[in-house]
Structure 1
Amino acid sequence: MKNLKFDKTGSAEFSKTLKARVNAHFKNTNTNIYGDGRMVVKTIIMLSVFFIPLITMSTGLISSPALIFALYITSGFGMAGVGMGVMHDAIHGSYSKHRLVNKYLGYSMNLIGASANVWRVQHNVLHHTYTNVDEGDDDINAPFFLRFTPNAKRYWVHRFQYLYIWFFYGLSTISWITTKDFVRLKRYRDMGFFGKEGEYRKEVMKIVGWKLLYYSYALILPLIMIPLPAWIIVLAFLSMHFVTGICISLVFQTAHIVQDAAFLNPDQEGLISNEWTVHQLATTSNYSPRSKVFSWLIGGLNFQVEHHLFPNICHIHYRKLSQIVSETAREFNVPYLVKKTFVAALWDHIKMLRQLGKA
């Protein structure tokens, strides 16, 4: 990867003004940037929705295939809720002002089969810093049969990606908990992360250990305890991950892979032709800003603009911050992308996928 850097010569006043107004908001309302009791309630609910169905199946008292599928799928929604509404804030350090709280709640990522440390590099460092930038944002670094940026090479198969991509979205978390963490860990080591003596080996062992724990209680124990053929249990387990994969993929992809988002190519020296704050606004889109229930379910990630600008602030504050950000952007003539509904954002994502498949 090139030594990427942003152009700091323009829009500095916008960034300075926005930060000052956001700081003033918290000072004037006598609140802090972290979570509160609402996050505790959400954490209990999401962890319960994830774990209770798995615990119920592990008692061996359930023998109905339909009920097994229902319990696993329910757990899949809980897994998505833990990922978007608990782990996400904790790993960004915005759940609590206490580092240990963030650290241990960040382990909820490991409890659902993935690596918090690998995610921290992929998401916090690469995606948040170099959003929609080729060679920087690992979220648009897709296998050859998917094309998420107009700067990537186009193959004939991409013409149909808007039709088959849902299958791969559904497979995204099962891929994540089997191979993707190991592949990314190696790539990130080659990029300069996990470079301390013994760190890479230690991280591999951690990932293996956490995955063994996850598979033990999410699949092996139900296989032992449930008096049904193994193929039914495995298929139900895969359906859980398919639901989680679809939920997480659609929430994140509809914020960046849309028609009005920018996809920038750094120049030969690695310079990105935008100041960082403006870059985030140009590459990120909100959706469904009025739906409080939907926002609660997906961890405030319908306010992706605010999240990208202030990832150190808990998502419970994004709705109010969005008023400050949109007004300041309008004042400085900076783009502020937003779709009225999630359906509109999803339709725009589909059109973008078709567009990427044609040119």
Structure 2
Amino acid sequence: MKHIKFKKSANAEFSKTLHKRVNDHFKVSQTKKYGGRPMVIKTIFMLSLFFIPLGFIGSGLVSSVWLLFTLYILSGLGMAGIGMGVMHDAIHGSYSKNPTVNKYLGYTMNLIGANASVWRVQHNVLHHTYTNIDHGDDDINAPFFLRFSPNAKRYWIHRFQHFYIWFFYGLSTISWITTKDFVRALRYRKMGLLKGDFKKVLMKISGWKVLYYSYALVLPLIMVPLSAWIIVLAFLSMHFVTGLLISLVFQTAHILEETSFPQADEEGIISDSWVTHQLATTSNYAPKSRIFSWLIGGLNFQVEHHLFPNISHVHYRKISKIVSQTAKEFKIPYLVNPTFFSALGDHVKMLRQLGRA
């Protein structure tokens, strides 16, 4: 990948004004940028939603097929909540002022079968820095049968991707717990983005996955008095629900008709500043839905998250007013869909468009 740079001089006054206003908001309100008690409550809730159903399954008391599937899917909802509302803040360093707290709560990513170290590179470094830039943003670097950028090569099969993509969204966390972390760890090592003894890195990834499979699948296979194929199917159903939820939450903020997919020039320069680039490539949705926002870790305010990843998502609703007003003053587009379903509809339109042109 060519080293990509942004024009710092572009809209510099907007960036300066925006950051000053957001900082002033925290000073005037005498609040900290971190999560505090609301994040502790959410953490307890989401971890409980994940582990308690698994605990019942592993106890051997579950003999009903429908109860087994229900408990696994409930655990999947907790898994999604941990990924979007706990681990996400922790790995960005916005959960707590204490780096040790962030470090250990970041390991909740490992507890749900993925790997925090690999995800940190994929998300914090590549996605947040090079949002919607082909070959830069790893979230849009998809297998050949999926096309998330108008700058990516188009194949005939993409004409149908808006029909079959839901299946692959559902497989996303299954990919995480099996091959994805190893494949990306190898690639990031070659890119110089993953430091340290690579054998130890692989051993740590493997060790965490063994732990996860032990309580999420192996123990149920031993304790639940049902056929193994039923238990495995219920386990996969949990991941399918989780993968679908997480994919839709993230994709409906970036892969839209309204968002931009800029390309660097021959010298690797993006014409926008990094701040205005984030506004052009990211969209909010459902800004009035408080319950929905709580459940998905404030990720309906993706614009604010991309601009201020060091601020906990519990503050996004309030600072979104500052961001939208400042963008309006400087005549910079601030993208937002009124509901999640309108964003989802736009996402489907974009997938169809990407399959045809």
TM-score (norm 1): 0.99
Map of 2:65 onto structure 1: 65
What's the counterpart of residue 89 of structure 1? 89
| Whole-angstrom CA distance in 2 between matches of 1:276 and 1:350 | 27
Q: Aligned partners of 1:116, 1:267: CA distance in 2, in Å?
A: 33
| 8 Å contact from structure 2 (residues 121, 194) kept in 1 | no
- Across the two proteins, how many residue pairs are aligned to each other? 357
Residue in 1 aligned with 2:21? 21
2:96 maps to a residue whose letter is S
Superposition deviation, residue 195 in structure 1: 3.9
Structure 2 residue 130 is the aligned partner of structure 1 residue 134? no
Contact 1:91 1:116 in 2 (8 A): yes
- Describe the SS at the equivalent of 2:81: helix
Query: What do you get for the CA RMSD once the two structures are aligned?
Result: 0.6
Give the deviation of 1:215 after TM superposition. 0.3
4+ runs of 1 displaced by more than 4 Å? none
Runs of 5+ consecutive residues of structure 1 not aligned to the other structure: none
Aligned: 1:49 with 2:43: no
Q: Please name the residue that 1:210 is paired with.
A: 208
CA distance in 1, matches of 2:209, 2:335: 38
| Partner Cα distance (1:195, 1:225) in 2 | 40
**What displacement does 1:68 show?**
0.2
How far residue 172 of structure 1 moved from its aligned partner, in angstroms, is: 0.4
Structure 2 partner of 1:239: 237
Secondary structure of the residue that 1:255 maps to in structure 2?
coil
SS of residue in 1 equivalent to 2:109: helix
Contact 1:174 1:241 in 2 (8 A): yes
In structure 1, distance between residues paired with 2:199 and 2:126: 22
- 2:121 maps to 1:154: no
Provide Cα deviations, 1:102-127, integer angstroms capped at 9, x if missing partner: 01100000000011000000000000
What's the CA shift string for 1:150-193, capped at 9, x where partnerless? 00000000000000000000000001110000000011111112
For residues 97-112 of structure 1, what are the structure 2 equivalents within 5 Å? 97-112=97-112
* Contact 1:166–1:246 (Cα < 8 Å) also in 2: yes
In structure 2, how many angstroms separate the alpha carbons of the residues matched to 1:326 and 1:194?
36
Contact 2:92 2:309 in 1 (8 A): yes
Shift of 1:273: 1.2
Shift of 1:194: 2.2
Query: 1:328 maps to what in 2?
Result: 326
CA contact (8 A) 1:134 1:266 kept: no
Aligned residue in 2 for 1:315? 313
What is the identity, as a one-letter code, of the residue corresponding to 1:43?
T
Equivalent-residue separation in structure 1 for 2:289 and 2:349 (angstroms): 23
Instruction: Give identity over the alignment, percent.
Output: 73
1:114 alignment partner, SS class: coil
Deviation at 1:92, TM superposition (A): 0.3
Say whether residues 1:302 and 2:321 are aligned partners.
no
For 2:181, the equivalent position in structure 1 comes to 181
Q: What letter is aligned with 2:318?
A: K
Could you list the runs of 5+ residues in structure 2 that have no partner in the other structure? none
C-alpha separation in 2, matches of 1:3 and 1:165: 31
Matched position secondary structure for 2:336: strand
The CA distance in 2 between the partners of 1:238 and 1:331, in whole Å, is 49
CA distance in 2: counterparts of 1:49 and 1:265, whole angstroms: 42
Q: Within 1, Cα distance between the matches of 2:10 and 2:266?
A: 20
- Find the counterpart in structure 2 of residue 8 from structure 1: 8
- 8 A contact 2:147–2:154 mirrored in 1: yes
Confirm whether residue 268 of structure 1 aligns to residue 266 of structure 2: yes
C-alpha distance in structure 2 between counterparts of 1:272 and 1:119, whole Å: 25
Aligned equivalents of 1:109, 1:309: Cα separation in 2? 23
Query: Would the aligned equivalents of 2:7 and 2:273 in 1 still touch at CA under 8 Å?
Result: yes
Measure how far apart 1:277 and its partner are. Answer: 0.3
CA distance in 1, matches of 2:228, 2:266: 54
- Post-superposition Cα deviations, 1:286-308, rounded to whole Å, max 9, x if no partner, equal 00000000000000000000000
Query: Do the aligned residues in 2 keep the contact of 1:57 with 1:226 (CA within 8 Å)?
Result: yes
Q: TM-score, normalised by structure 2?
A: 0.99
Output the CA distance in 2 between the equivalents of 1:269 and 1:207.
Answer: 37
SS at match of 2:139: helix
Matched position secondary structure for 1:16? helix
* Equivalent-residue separation in structure 2 for 1:296 and 1:194 (angstroms): 32
Q: Residue 249 of structure 1 is aligned with which of 240, 247, 250?
A: 247
